[in-house]
Amino acid sequence: MSNKIEYKIILVGNTNVGKTSLFRKILGEEFLQKNISTIGVDQKTFYTNLKIDNKEGKKENREFEIKLYDTAGEEKFRALTKSFFNGANGIFLIYDVTERNSFEQVSEWLNNLKDDLGDPKEAKYVIILIGNKIDLVKDNIKEQAVESYEASDKCEESGFYWGGELSAKTFNEEQLKEKINEYILQIYKKVGANKHGQQKSKNISNNKKKGRKFC
């Protein structure tokens, strides 16, 4: 069986944390120093091949088709309708390691996501917490405002996957690709190979909106 596995992944987080920069870099576009304002939602598709453990416990090479969505910041969250989040398999929740406030807001994001997708501890999607702009700390340009252990503690407590710290500016394509592949494998571990929107949740009552309209 070699048909591809399709996932819908959405980038969320406060304004200015680097969502659009990551979105561009993941898609192989250059880093821009200036702000690129995101209006509503931007969506692009990319492909990656990963070795996964199949049902028989054997290693298998599979192609993943990722529909990646960039969104505008928190002030617009409620402008994003519930149906927009429906069928999401992964959420890249981004904060800026030099901006405490962007990390404090993570709980707010979780509450919103719970409303739309269910509790990530139970529902079949993965929230990946990612600290961006680590280059500013490494280059002594700014103080680190959020320690990585705080972020990983937060993940443990909230049922997130800790995606670690990275930089949309200084990570090269290979480094970023390695990270993204790690995140996609985490999603695979929880969601499996079903197409988005078709996955069965163990806790349907907690996950009322799992639609089937995406098949």
The verdict on 38 binding Mg ion (CB under 5 A) reads: yes
Structure tokens at 158: 């909230």
Site residues for ligand GDP, 71-100, by CB under 6 A, read: 73
**Whole-number Å distance between alpha carbons of 116 and 84:** 9
Q: Which stretch binds ligand GDP (CB under 6 A): 31-39, 77-85, 147-155, 178-186?
A: 31-39
Min CB(119)–ligand GDP separation in Å: 25
List the x/- string, 135-164, binding to ligand GDP by CB under 6 A.
xx----------------------------
Q: For the chain, what is the total number of helices (H) and then of strands (E)?
A: 7, 6
Nearer to ligand GDP, 26 or 191 (CB): 26
Nearer to Mg ion, 71 or 199 (CB): 71
Min CB(84)–ligand GDP separation in Å: 17
**Whole-number Å distance between alpha carbons of 22 and 185:** 19
The verdict on 205 binding ligand GDP (CB under 6 A) reads: no
The verdict on 131 binding ligand GDP (CB under 6 A) reads: no
Min CB(124)–ligand GDP separation in Å: 26
**158-172 b/e (C-beta count within 10 Å ≥ 16 → b):** bebbbbbbbbbbebe
Query: 196 with 7: CB under 8 angstroms?
Result: yes
Nearer to Mg ion, 36 or 215 (CB): 36
Torsion sign (Cα): 171, 177, 180, 185: negative
Name the residue among 119, 129, 166 with its Cα closest to residue 150. Answer: 129
Contacts with ligand GDP, residue ranges (CB under 6 A): 15-21, 32-36, 38, 73, 132-133, 135-136, 167-169
